[in-house]
Structure 1
Amino acid sequence: MAAIENSEVKLLGVWVSPFVIRVGIALNLKEVQYEFLEEQFGTKSELLLKSNPVYKKIPVLIHHGKPISESMIIVQYIDDIWAQSASALMPTDTYDKAMHRFWTAYFDDKFYNSLFGLVTTATEETKVEAVEQIMTVLLHLEEAFAKMSKGKPFFGGDTIKYLDIAVGSFLGWMRAAEEIMCVKLLDDARLPLLCAWAENFCNNEAVRTVIPETAKFVEFGKILQAKFKSGPPPAK
């Protein structure tokens, strides 16, 4: 299917944000052309403050002049608006849909602070604690994947769906954290299903163009280490 041309679709964000990456992946999967409006990290433009006056955070999708905020709300919006384009991003089965929403909510609640706490940690004790918290989340997702994938490559089965996007958007940062902190998070021995899933996810054409190379995350992560020694930066 040819890409959908839509000059009225704009994505406001920064390249390093996994939450912005989520939206880029969803737009690519739906073959929607869009304009990326790059924010400067650590500042809030007038457009951002106008578009998201409540949370004042990226990402923001602007469609025909109307702003939509919060990454997974945006993903759902994209799925609804471009329902006839490519595969659905949310399962049609009611139970499967509930499971995607449940595990996405769990992941967002537990994973972000732990991962960026690891990258910005100042002591060996906090490093060990962060790794333990991360592994708890990943082990739960390994079990969830075994049930939800039904032997297929993704949480959503044959195609990338809602939960795949939510978790997969963090793969660049996971690999960077492994390199920066000399730890192993995606371990084939402990997480064989997630490791195979991660490879399939990152090899997808819609994903490859959105997630930057690990080296770029590593470089940025080292900047964060110097800047945020007391904890993770504010969620974007």
Structure 2
Amino acid sequence: MSDTVSFGYEDIPASEKTARVGGVFSNVAAKYDLMNDAMSGGMHRLWKDRFVRRVCPRGGEQILDMAGGTGDIAFRLADGGASVTVADINPQMLEVGMERAAKRGYDGLVWTEANAEVLQFPDRFFDAYTIAFGIRNVTDIPAALKEAHRVLRRGGRFFCLEFSTTVWPGFAEAYDAYSHKLVPQLGKLLAGDADSYRYLIESIRRFPDMPTFERMIKDAGFVQTKVEPMLGGLVAIHSGWRI
């Protein structure tokens, strides 16, 4: 990892990113799901449903949902019968998730504060590792991918849902204009915070494109990698297997 990393369009010392991203998510935690609905027109729910269908959780499995603070993915995985550990580096996001879980009757989830780059779990512990809209906020993405590989059992599967770069002509330009101009204003209106949502949009633009990120997953040791684009790649499901 280089000495500097991206924080939106800004390049900052790598040592500062974790704290600055933490500040963003502490600011947006209470309104995170409301803003997801507003920014995506509710489509994030369909993307997450599709993502979990690809994971195909089963009874008896142990699944780690990384960066899963508010519980959106974990609840869906638990509905499939899996035992789910929800990990997030941000305690405020975990608090929101635990409150939501209590209201919805999900009492079997394990909640833990964890850094994706240095996980506290033993080798070959989980059957699946999921991360949705979280990998782009990690300071050292290759380190996080290697940790995902380490904690998976042989035959374990890795699934990542993340924004990417759409290749649909015309749509890319329209989305770019919408996201840069309107999303920060939505953040200001609904969450009282334009700057945090400006960062979230900018972080999407700085994230590697689909082929590049797939190569990073392969470099971490995963095989049979696959990319499933949605909306021409605006959002993509990346997956791979540990052997």
TM-score, structure 2 as length reference: 0.30
Larger strand proportion, structure 1 or 2?
A: 2
